[in-house]
């Protein structure tokens, strides 16, 4: 769902959102942000210094060096987005970000070609002993016979992970005349076949066939240490290993032992378990780097001018989108929503959030407010059991997660505002679970509460308080409250408040009065509000829904709602003054 900017709701000016950039970002990327946001470039910050200032920022753009920990995210009270200028997000605690409602984005496509080319470069360097040969020549030696290499044509390249980078490597390898096999339980089989990659059923099956082995997967629990001593022992003594993905997937100690024993012929390593790798005689990484059969580079996979520019621009565009209420392209912890679907969802996000707030302020508030209900009415308890039904075309969308999040945000806004919790589609499910709120989503392609419109939304709140008479309830009370709405010309409308049919825009300060439908009520309410200095800008009368049928109240009189848009919130004393035999039965003020 949209992440709001720092603009004040009442239209008053407020400081521009602030973005912190502790690592290098391209000038073109920065230019995308500087016109709309306050951008601070502060390189070389220690973890303590970063934590000390992060509370001031709405956005954080990083590369691979900055560690975004749970403690940092807990301190970042205003933070809405962490953007990683690159593919990997292993330096970001995504789970903690989700709990804090912080969207994490990366740039999974900006450095694909750079990483693939570096893989091929390392493969050729290892095949032809480029590193050892260069060092030998610079040392004044001429060792042609010792440095005889191999050709890659006709050799088998085994690829672990055939995502975008893995497939790009495969296509380049095919151009060199190599045979490509792969293991990836999540592979797109059609794309793999189009790249002439033969998928094998398990890791063990590609290890035994590999002349070269390359890894292109993220570092997760299932890939950490995936190539250890046991796996290396199954490979050909002539095989060579490449890693331009993430350190930690190859056991560095085991690889060093295999190289020294001659059971592996060589390795091209761009990434390490710890970066920079520790030095010293007891460091396996340092000994790997120094080994003559290893070509090592300092995490250069994405280090091309083009890739750095691409990922910088990509993440800066996504940060700008999020901080201005739009959607990112590559959110790690939020659903990907197609632009055309988002255009449909966006006005309904606003509608559903206001429906949640309307329920809390009109129905639920009577449980703990005084002077806002008729004499003897206790009002319904706060519901934690909701049904949110999407009717018509809206029910056909791939995801309705922004609408779920909008409801939770609307329900909890008075509470979360005071706690500083940012509720959005990233953390809405966690927040709802923690608060004990159950939302049952329903899709109904046919029908719709707002006849004549392609989509509508119906919210049902079950209080389990049968016999109470909350605002909008009949004389006998009810244990379910209904709010229905639709969107027309991108403007949200409420079409039903429990028994009452209506059509009003849920915005600003609204006074909702339940009264007997008899002459003179409007005049009485207007007069009493006028004496209190309250101006009415518009009014809607809501009769009982025809399908429900009119319940008769005292003396056989029918009931109705008056929804008045007023220029400000009113005091409890003014509300109490409205409730009388000649005035209204119940009244509540809603601010949306």
Q: Is 320 helix (H, G, I), strand (E, B) or coil?
A: helix
Beta-bridged to residue 61, according to DSSP, are 83
Tokens representing 387?
């049904």
* CA gap 438, 581 in Å, rounded: 39
Cβ partners under 8 Å of residue 525, min gap 6: 513, 515, 562, 564, 578, 583, 584
Tell me the Cα Rg of the chain: 32
Torsion of CA 190, 192, 193, 197, to 10 degrees: -170
Residues 277 and 144: their CA atoms lie apart, in Å, by: 32
Distance CA 252, CA 274 (A): 11
Q: How far is the C-alpha of 505 from the C-alpha of 131, rounded, in Å?
A: 70
Residues 6+ apart with CB under 8 A from 260: 291
> Distance between CA atoms of 203 and 228, rounded to whole angstroms?
12
Residue with tokens 């750079």: 114
Q: Which of 100, 113, 59 is nearest to 317 (CA)?
A: 59
Residue 221, both tokens? 């629990």
486's enclosing H/E stretch is strand 480-488
- What lies within 8 Å, CB to CB, of 410 at 6+ separation is 352, 353, 354, 355, 356, 357, 358, 359, 360
Catalytic residues: 246, 275, 299
The arrangement of strands across the sheet holding 59-62 comes to 38-41, 18-21, 59-62, 81-84, 103-105
Query: 377: closest CA among 171, 585, 189?
Result: 585
Contact between 82 and 105 (Cβ < 8 Å): yes
Q: Tell me the two tokens of residue 59.
A: 């956005």
Q: Does residue 276 have a cis bond before it (omega within 30 degrees)?
A: yes
User: Of 366, 364, 367, which Cα lies nearest the Cα of 386?
Assistant: 364
Task: Please check whether residue 199 is in contact with residue 254, taking contact to mean a CB–CB distance below 8 angstroms.
Answer: no
Q: What is the 3-state secondary structure (H, E, C) of 141-200?
A: CCCCCCCCCCCCCCCEEEEECCCHHHHHHHHHHHHCCCEEEEECCCCCHHHHHHCCEEEC
């Amino acid at each position: 769902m949209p992440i709001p900017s720092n603009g004040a709701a009442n239209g008053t000016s407020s400081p521009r959102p602030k973005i912190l950039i502790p690592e290098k970002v391209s000038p073109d990327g920065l230019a995308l942000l500087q016109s709309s946001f306050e951008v601070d470039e502060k390189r070389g910050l220690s973890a303590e210094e970063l934590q000390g200032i992060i509370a001031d920022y709405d956005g954080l753009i990083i590369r691979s060096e900055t560690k975004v920990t749970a403690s940092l995210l807990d301190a970042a009270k205003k933070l809405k987005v962490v953007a990683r200028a690159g593919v990997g997000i292993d330096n970001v605690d995504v789970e903690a970000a989700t709990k804090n409602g912080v969207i994490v984005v990366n740039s999974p496509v900006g450095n694909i070609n750079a990483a693939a080319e570096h893989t091929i470069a390392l493969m050729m360097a290892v095949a032809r002993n480029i590193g050892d040969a260069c060092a030998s020549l610079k040392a004044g030696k001429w060792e042609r016979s010792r440095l005889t290499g191999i050709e890659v044509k006709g050799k088998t390249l085994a690829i672990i992970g055939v995502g975008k980078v893995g497939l790009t490597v495969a296509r380049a390898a095919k151009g060199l005349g190599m045979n490509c096999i792969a293991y990836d339980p999540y592979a797109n089989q059609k794309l793999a076949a189009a790249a002439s990659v033969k998928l094998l059923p398990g890791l063990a099956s590609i290890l035994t066939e590999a002349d070269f082995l390359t890894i292109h997967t993220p570092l997760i629990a299932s890939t950490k240490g995936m190539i250890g001593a046991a796996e290396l022992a199954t490979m050909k003594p002539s095989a060579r290993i490449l890693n331009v993905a993430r350190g930690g997937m190859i056991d560095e100690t085991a690889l060093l032992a295999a190289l020294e024993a001659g059971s592996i012929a060589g390795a091209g390593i761009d990434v390490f378990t710890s970066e920079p790798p520790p030095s010293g005689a007891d460091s396996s990484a340092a000994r790997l780097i120094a080994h003559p059969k290893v070509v090592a580079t300092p995490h250069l996979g994405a280090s091309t001018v083009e890739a750095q520019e691409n990922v910088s621009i990509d993440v800066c565009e996504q940060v700008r989108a999020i901080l201005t209420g739009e959607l990112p392209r590559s959110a790690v912890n939020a659903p990907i929503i197609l632009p055309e679907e988002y255009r449909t969802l966006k006005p309904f996000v606003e509608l559903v959030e206001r429906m949640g707030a309307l329920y809390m302020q009109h129905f639920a508030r009577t449980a703990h407010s005084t002077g806002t209900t008729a004499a003897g009415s206790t009002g319904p308890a706060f519901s934690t059991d909701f049904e949110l039904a999407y009717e018509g075309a809206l029910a056909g969308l791939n995801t309705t997660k922004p609408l779920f999040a909008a409801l939770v945000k609307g329900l909890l806004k008075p509470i979360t505002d005071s706690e500083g919790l940012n509720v959005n589609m990233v953390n809405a499910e966690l927040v709802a679970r923690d608060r004990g709120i159950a939302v049952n989503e329903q899709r109904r392609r046919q029908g719709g509460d707002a006849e004549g419109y392609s989509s509508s939304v119906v919210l049902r709140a079950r209080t389990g308080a049968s016999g109470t008479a909350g605002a909008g309830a009949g004389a006998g009370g009810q244990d379910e409250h209904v709010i229905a709405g639709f969107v027309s010309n991108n403007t949200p409308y409420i079409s039903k408040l429990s028994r009452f049919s209506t059509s009003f825009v849920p915005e600003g300060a609204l006074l909702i009065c339940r009264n007997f439908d008899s002459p003179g009520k409007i005049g009485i309410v207007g007069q009493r509000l006028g004496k209190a200095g309250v101006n009415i800008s518009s009014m809607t009368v809501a009769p009982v829904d025809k399908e429900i049928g009119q319940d008769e109240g005292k003396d056989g009189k029918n009931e109705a709602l008056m929804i008045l848009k007023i220029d400000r919130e009113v005091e409890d004393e003014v509300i109490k003054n409205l409730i009388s035999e000649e005035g209204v039965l119940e009244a509540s003020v809603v601010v949306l």
